[in-house]
Amino acid sequence: MITVTGATKTYGAFRALDDVTLDIPAGSLTALLGPSGSGKSTLLRALAGLETLDAGRVTINGIDVTAEPPQRRGIGFVFQHYAAFKHLTVRENVAFGLAIRKKPKPQTDARVAELLELVGLTGLAGRFPDQLSGGQRQRMALARALAIEPSVLLLDEPFGALDAHVRADLRAWLRRLHDEVHVTTVLVTHDQEEALEVADRVAVLNHGRLEQVDEPLAVYDRPANAFVMGFVGSVARLGGALVRPHRIALRRPEESSGVASSVRSTASASVGSASTSSPSTSSGAGTGTGTAEFGEASVTVDATVDRIARLGSETVVELLDADGVRFVARLNRADSERLGLARGERVSASAPLDPATADFGDYVI
Ligand SMILES: Nc1ncnc2c1ncn2[C@@H]1O[C@H](COP(=O)(O)OP(=O)(O)OP(=O)(O)O)[C@@H](O)[C@H]1O
């Protein structure tokens, strides 16, 4: 278990961490997620002891390590650009931490063999780092970090420099690795998909402040505020309300049933008539709210299709509402083909108003 209490760090007048308090459960894989400059790396470096806090405390497994140097915190660290020893083989790189701790050779050899097996590099043990791919190098870095049996593993965008396919593979691999070794792990990422896929807890940072800490789906489904909603998934502004693009149902004005991208694909009879009969609603002409379509509060606007991008499994439809506000709806392929929309067509767009997020509409994201 790691606890961070009131962590504050300033650089001159700039507050990189602003009173961050966070518990990281033992054995969890927690992602620190946030945009560039939000303070993720500063927080991770403070956990590592590479950064001194202006105020606040860090404990690891009940021991206050705030004033301890990195080497006395029992941590393993992997950076985006791993600095391997170029003149040492993969095996020697992984053994490095054990060698400087003067572990007996047979013990070191056995541990290194076990780690190379764990990260799938057994066959490449005799190679030098520049004979490895980027993904293999990062796996070697993880093996090296794990060699000293750290109580905490700190990963700063470890796959950030790799291409999308390799990243996706390594993400899945990291999840499996974590399920095997259960080391308390903190992963810094600015990629919400990576955080939701890999972590069992996600801590969202913005401007040095902790906005929300929760399970991955909870930050998506029940975001604490408009920033979290916008950062952990895409959002559309529909008649002043923020909704998820995959929950928007589109239909031609003359049709009686809508087509939405997922759970709402059979949504029928709508409040679309409100769009023309209530031009005085707060969001302007073409907007209505009601409860008929989704069995819960919903919002409907008239819109014009501006652009259609068919991405394979889904279709992204860009629309303009009556006020010229652009928003995006995401349809699954079957629904999109059934609807057969074209640029310039007029449609009505409806989405349920989630009570948890309905009042985020006033926020600027
Ligand atoms: N040594 C430093 N001196 C001055 N400012 C710094 C220093 N280190 C970080 N900062 C600033 O603190 C803020 C937070 O930086 P940090 O690296 O923690 O952000 P981050 O969320 O990890 O971003 P990124 O994803 O871009 O790495 C940034 O605005 C950065 O410019």
In a domain, 114, yes or no: yes
Instruction: Give φ, ψ of 328 to 5 degrees.
Output: -120, 135
209: CA distance to ligand 1 center in Å? 13
Q: Is 11 in the pocket of ligand 1 (CB under 6 A)?
A: yes
- Contact (CB, 8 A) for 288 and 274: yes
Task: Count CB atoms within 10 A of the CB of residue 56.
Answer: 17
Same domain, 266 and 178: no
Q: Are 27 and 173 contained in the same domain?
A: yes
Judge if the beta carbon of residue 42 lies within 6 A of ligand 1. yes
pLDDT at position 84? 83
| Cα gap 300→274, rounded to integer Å | 8
Q: Say which amino acid occupies 294.
A: F
Q: Does residue 206's CB lie within 6 angstroms of at least one atom of ligand 1? A: no
215 shares its domain with 281: no
**Tens-digit pLDDT profile for residues 106-138:** 889 999 999 999 889 999 999 999 999 988 999
Determine the residue of 17, 38, 50, 155 to mutate for testing ligand 1's pocket, defined as the one with the most ligand atoms within 8 A of the Cβ atom. Answer: 38
For 133-159, write each residue's pLDDT tens digit. Answer: 988 999 999 999 999 889 999 999 998
- Cα of 365 vs centre of ligand 1, distance in Å, is 22
Weakly modelled stretches of the chain, pLDDT under 50: 260-285
Crossing angle of helices 90-100 and 105-118, rounded to 10°: 130
* Residues 246, 270 within the same domain: yes
CA 158 to chain centroid, in Å, comes to: 14
pLDDT in tens, 238-247: 888 889 999 9
Q: Is 190 in the pocket of ligand 1 (CB under 6 A)?
A: yes
Last residue of a domain, one of 207, 231, 255: 231
d(CA 35, CA 253): 39
> In the listed set 231, 261, 279, which residue is the last one of a domain according to the structure?
231
The answer to whether residues 42 and 137 belong to one domain is yes
Residue 290: its pLDDT value, please? 62
- For the Cβ of 39 lying below 6 angstroms from any atom of ligand 1, the answer is yes
Q: Please report the pLDDT score of residue 264 as a whole number.
A: 37
Closest CA to 342 of 308, 299, 309: 308
Q: What is the pLDDT of residue 246?
A: 92
